[in-house]
Amino acid sequence: MNYSIRECHPADAAELARLRVEFLLEVGQPSHAGFTDVLEQWFRDALATPRVRVWVAERDGRIVGTAAVNPFERIPNGHNPVGRGWYVINVYVLPEARGQGVAEALMRALQQAATDAGVPILELHASDHGRPLYERLGWTVPPDFMELRLEGFHS
């Protein structure tokens, strides 16, 4: 499959909102009238700030997959001595593009961006369907959440 990965900007808000609604419906979360508009405005506002970053996979000018992060900061501890990380959310690939490496390419781009930004840890809540991919990419399962320790940031 020929696709490209890029980071999003506020102009992508409408398409991201539409894909988020598809994702939520697929996992059993109902939508309500006007929710897509609320999401679109949220993405437009959030993408103009550091509170969210989103990557997309495109094929023939059409978005076929997404992955997002919410950067976080916590009180440093022995597990995360700098207290910074990214929480991975909304990893979603359209049904017709699944099984073609899209989610893996999105996750690798996201992981590289984290490394480039000096982010030492990624966290996520994995679905049963997504867990094998994350494990192949080196994620581990602590007692209460999954994480990926990135190279060069171990204490």
Identify the pLDDT of residue 80: 86
Residues 44, 10: contact at Cβ < 8 Å? yes
Q: What is the pLDDT of residue 68?
A: 97
pTM for this model (two decimals): 0.86
Query: Tens-digit pLDDT profile for the chain (155 aa)?
Result: 589 999 999 999 999 999 999 999 998 888 889 999 999 999 999 999 999 999 999 999 999 999 999 999 999 988 888 999 999 999 999 999 999 999 999 999 999 999 999 999 999 988 888 999 999 999 987 766 677 888 776 54
- Check residue 1 and give its pLDDT: 58
Place of tokens 């499959």: 1
Structural element, H or E, at residue 38: helix 35-46
Distance CA 112, CA 126 (A): 20
CA–CA distance, 119 with 106 (Å, rounded to integer):
17
